[in-house]
Amino acid sequence: MTAGGLAIAVAGASGRMGRMLVEAVQQSGDCRLAGALDRAGSAAIGQDATAWLGHASGVQVTGDLAQGLAGAQVLIDFTRPEGTLAHLAACREKGVAMVIGTTGFNEEQKAKIASAAQDIGIVMAPNMSVGVNVALRLLDMAARALSEGYDIEIVEAHHRHKVDAPSGTALAMGETVAKALGRELKTHAIYGREGVTGERDPSTIGFATVRGGDIVGDHTVMFCGTGERIEISHKATSRVGYAQGSLRAARFLAQRGAGLYSMADVLGLDPL
């Protein structure tokens, strides 16, 4: 680790999650802000990354990748797939590790991330929250025990600005449940119902999406049986949990070499 702490750059530094990450880095005792990236044309370009907190960090928000990554050991990225892939190429070239919390990647984009992990360390997870990753373990256990006689529905809610649906976390929950049941989510998922749909196929996994207001992130998986219903929920009231999980992932990468890691690896959990 470099003098002054683990050097972290933050992508999307002026966004909601970006600001939370910048603040978490500033408040940590073992990390320092080494760079702050934002899209070209952002009103934040040229401003101090912590001006909104009422004090200066000495790090300016920039749209220049070379400048933003100079001196950084790890980039934390919660942006959009296209932006993350552009950052990925620069990080691979410069040997900067990445924590990727971006969601909505297609299979081709995921393959590019896996390829880059041959050269740099990457922690990639649809949700960096420690609580969510513990919930995934609970879902695996519940799905195995409730494999017969229970219909499975996943309900997620996020703020009005979220651009992808279902959320990456909801999909990860669905993948966890499907795998535990020996099913393929892509062939058993139902992403919407309207009109006369007929009786429910018991092998399906249903998804319902809510978008509104400033909801940070609510996820509930319902196992609906006869005479009872089991619900496993995670509700985020702020983005602090995501930021703290991201710093935990960054610290993990500082002690690892190249490779594609999950939050299970970060938390020392057995893989599902």
Residues marked as catalytic: 158, 162
Backbone angles phi, psi at 83, to 5 degrees: -65, -45
Give me the residues paired with residue 259 across strands. Answer: 121
For 152, left (φ over 0), alpha (ψ -120 to 50), or beta?
A: beta
Backbone angles phi, psi at 107, to 5 degrees: -65, -40
Query: Locate tokens 């401003």: which residue?
Result: 47
Please provide the DSSP assignment of 73-96 as one string.
Answer: SEEEE-S-HHHHHHHHHHHHHHT-
* Secondary structure of residue 159 in the 3-state scheme: coil
Q: What is the largest CA-CA distance in the chain?
A: 64
Residue 37, token pair as written in the block: 């990236």
Contact present, 29 and 251 (Cβ < 8 Å): no
163 CB burial (10 A radius; 0-12, 13-18, 19+): exposed
Backbone angles phi, psi at 46, to 5 degrees: 90, -15
Nearest to 168 by CA among 262, 90, 39: 262
